[in-house]
A and B are shown apart, each in its own frame.
Chain A
Amino acid sequence: MARIALALGLWLALVGAAPIRLITQLSQARIEINTTFRGSEMLVFGAIQYPQGTVPDAPPDIAVVVRGPSAPVTVRQKARIAGIWVNATGVRFESVPGFYAVAATRPITQIADERTTAIYEIGIRNLQLSPASGADDGISRTFETGLIAARQKAGLFTERSDGVQITRGVLYAARIALPAAVPVGDYTAEIHLVRKGRVLASTSAPFVIDKSGFERWVYVMAQENSLAYGLAAVMAALAAGALAALVTRRRW
Chain B
Amino acid sequence: MDIYLPIAEMSVNALLIILMGGAVGFLSGMFGVGGGFLTTPLLIFYGIPPAVAVASSATQITGSSVSGALAYWERGQVDLRMGGVLVAGGLVGAGVGQIVFSVLQDLGQIDVVISLIYVLFLSVIGGLMLRDALAALKAARAGQAPPARRSRHLPWVAALPWKMRFPGSGLYISPLAPLLLGAAVGILTVIMGIGGGFIMVPAMVYILGMRAQAVVGTSLFQIIFVTAATTMLHATASKSVDIVLALLLLLGGVTGAQLGVRAAQKLSPDRLRLGLAIVVLAVAGVLLIGLTLTPAEPFALFEGA
Question: Which A positions have Cβ atoms within 8 angstroms of B?
Answer: 33-39, 71-78, 83-87, 90, 143, 146-147, 149-151, 153, 180-181, 183-184, 211, 214-216, 218-219, 222-223, 226-227, 229-234, 236-245, 248
Contact = CB atoms under 8 A, between A and B. Distances in A.
B11 A38 contact: yes
B11, B60, B109: most-surrounded residue (chain A CB, <10 A)? B11
Given A37-B4, A219-B6, A244-B67, A234 B236 contact: no
B70 A146 contact: no
Given A232-B243, A233-B59, 9 more contacts: A72-B304, A76-B301, A219-B7, A226-B236, A226-B239, A229-B243, A234-B232, A236-B63, A237-B60
B126 to A, nearest CB: 19
Interface in B71-92: 71
Contacts of B257: 244
Q: Is the interface of B mostly helix, strand, loop or mixed?
A: helix
Given A218-B243, A218-B244, A230-B241, A85 B70 contact: no
Give the interface size class of chain B.
35 or more
Given A73-B301, A84-B112, A234-B62, A36 B292 contact: no
A150 B298 CA distance: 9
Given A222-B241, A244-B67, A75 B299 contact: yes
Interface in B3-37: 3-4, 6-7, 9-11
Interface of B: 2-4, 6-7, 9-11, 59-60, 62-67, 70-71, 108-109, 111-112, 116, 224, 228, 231-232, 234-236, 239, 241, 243-244, 246-247, 250-251, 254, 257-258, 291-295, 297-305
Q: Is the interface of A mostly helix, strand, loop or mixed?
A: helix
A36, A153, A234: most-surrounded residue (chain B CB, <10 A)? A234
B299 to A, nearest CB: 3
